[in-house]
Amino acid sequence: MEAANPSGDLSAEMEVDAFRRLFPLRFFDRHLVESIRPDGRPLGRARDTTLALGAVASADGSALAKIGSTTMLAAIKLEVMTPATESPDEGSIAIDFHMPPICSPMVRPGRPAEAAPVISKQLSDTILSSGVINLKELCLISGKAAWMAYLYPEERNNMNLKVDKLWNFMITIVDIYCLDADGALFDAALLSAIAAFSHLEIPVVSLDEDGRVVILSQDEGLKTSNEPVNAEKRKLTLSDIPFSLTCILYKNYILADPTAEEESVMETLITVVLDSSYQLVSLYKPGGSVLAYTSALQDCIALTRHRVQELKKILDEAMSEMEVD
């Protein structure tokens, strides 16, 4: 009955928690052989996901997304800008992902987490390249020319045109805060950003005397002499919403939606982003010791397809709850 390796002997006597810390790979192997994970999930299932829209009252659009314990809070603020000369008829989107020290024992104040700028860049690439937001819709003053030409009477002979640009586009600044980091950060961040965009309402604005854009509050709208530029609050149209799923490749297993413990022990991650018509938006596999063959990639994409259906339902339910209110 004597086991050849000493750790085999120890494992018989040791408590589960100690075994989990000292021999994490063997702990997971024991579970994966039974096709189950330590928290009881089957290999391909993601954790319970919830969405709450309108979590931040002072923001123009906001959402709180929870995947298992991973919690992300996204808030969108609108500011007015002049469009860039290369794309004079488009607004812009700025996405900032923050990992404050509360979210994880790995993050120290003053030294930002390694994952934060990586996820920030991934998010802005995904959202901009998927075309979910039409930047031309971020125009505040529709129907008016972006350029106004003044012709001064004394210079009429010279026909000097003084050209002035109007500030008339919006930049949406999305701030995403990770409140609790328990794996699959990109998935939760993307979900919260998309949900915040679907909650976003562009307020009624008008121009004041200096040509600056001002939001009209509800009670002023009727009394002010400035005519509102857009008739009512409007929402952005989201086409082809991207949803994502992160999977871990370990030996010949594929684990969907890893927790932080699983991510730290089994390092090879792959993130697949599909849009709501199941077209591939992005595939991200940053190195790792396990090589992904075509069959593994196809399995991941199939898991993501299933996940997209779940997430679509969750997003629709959250939005219809908001409308009922």
Q: How far is the CB of 208 from another protein (least distance, A)?
A: 8
Task: Report the nearest approach of another protein to the CB of residue 205 (Å).
Answer: 6
Cβ atoms of residues 183 and 265 within 8 Å: no
256 is a site residue for another protein (CB under 8 A): no
- Binding residues for another protein, total number by CB under 8 A: 50
d(CA 126, CA 170) in angstroms, rounded, equals: 20
CB of 301 to another protein, least distance (A): 30
92 binds another protein (CB under 8 A): yes
Stretch that binds another protein, among 14-22, 73-81, 131-139, 233-241 (CB under 8 A): 73-81
- In single-letter form, the type of residue at position 319 comes to M
Determine, following the binding rule CB under 8 A, whether residue 69 of this chain makes contact with another protein. Answer: yes
Q: Is 141 in the site for another protein (CB under 8 A)?
A: no
Strand partners, 111: 108
Site map (CB under 8 A) of another protein, residues 151-190, x = contact = --------------x-x---x-x-x-x-xxxx--------
271 bridge partner residues: 246, 284
| Burial class (CB within 10 angstroms; exposed 0-12, middle 13-18, buried 19+) of 227 | exposed
Q: What gap in Å lies between CA 250 and CA 266, rounded to an integer?
A: 6
Binding status of residue 43 toward another protein by CB under 8 A: no
**CB atoms closer than 10 angstroms to residue 14:** 15
DSSP three-state, residue 304? helix
Which listed residue (9, 29, 48, 79) binds another protein by CB under 8 A? Answer: 79
What does 107-149 look like in DSSP terms, one character per residue? -BTTB--SHHHHHHHHHHHHHHHTT-B-GGGGBSSTTS-SEEE
Stretch that binds another protein, among 39-47, 80-88, 250-258, 277-285 (CB under 8 A): 80-88
Residue 248 lies near another protein (rule: CB under 8 A):
no
Residue (13 or 209) nearer to another protein, CB: 209
Rounded to the nearest angstrom, the gap between the alpha carbon of residue 139 and the centroid of all alpha carbons in its chain is 23
Stretch of residues binding another protein (CB under 8 A), selected from 185-193, 214-222, 226-234, 240-248: 214-222
Q: What is the separation of C-alpha 291 from the centre of its chain, rounded to a whole number of angstroms?
A: 27
Binding status of residue 112 toward another protein by CB under 8 A: no
77 lies in the binding site for another protein (CB under 8 A): yes
| Residue in the block written with tokens 């992005």 | 282
Binding residue for another protein, selected from 24, 54, 101, 228, defined by CB under 8 A: 101
What part of residues 266-285 is at the interface with another protein (CB under 8 A)? none
Residue 57 in contact with another protein, rule: CB under 8 A: yes
Q: How far is CA 253 from CA 167, 267, 284, 285, 296, in A?
A: 54, 13, 18, 16, 9
For residue 200, CA distances in Å to 21, 168, 239 come to 44, 18, 15
Residues at the site binding another protein, with contacts judged by CB under 8 A: 56-59, 62, 69, 71, 73, 75, 77-82, 84-86, 92, 94, 96, 98, 100-105, 109-110, 165, 167, 171, 173, 175, 177, 179-182, 203, 205, 208, 212-217, 260
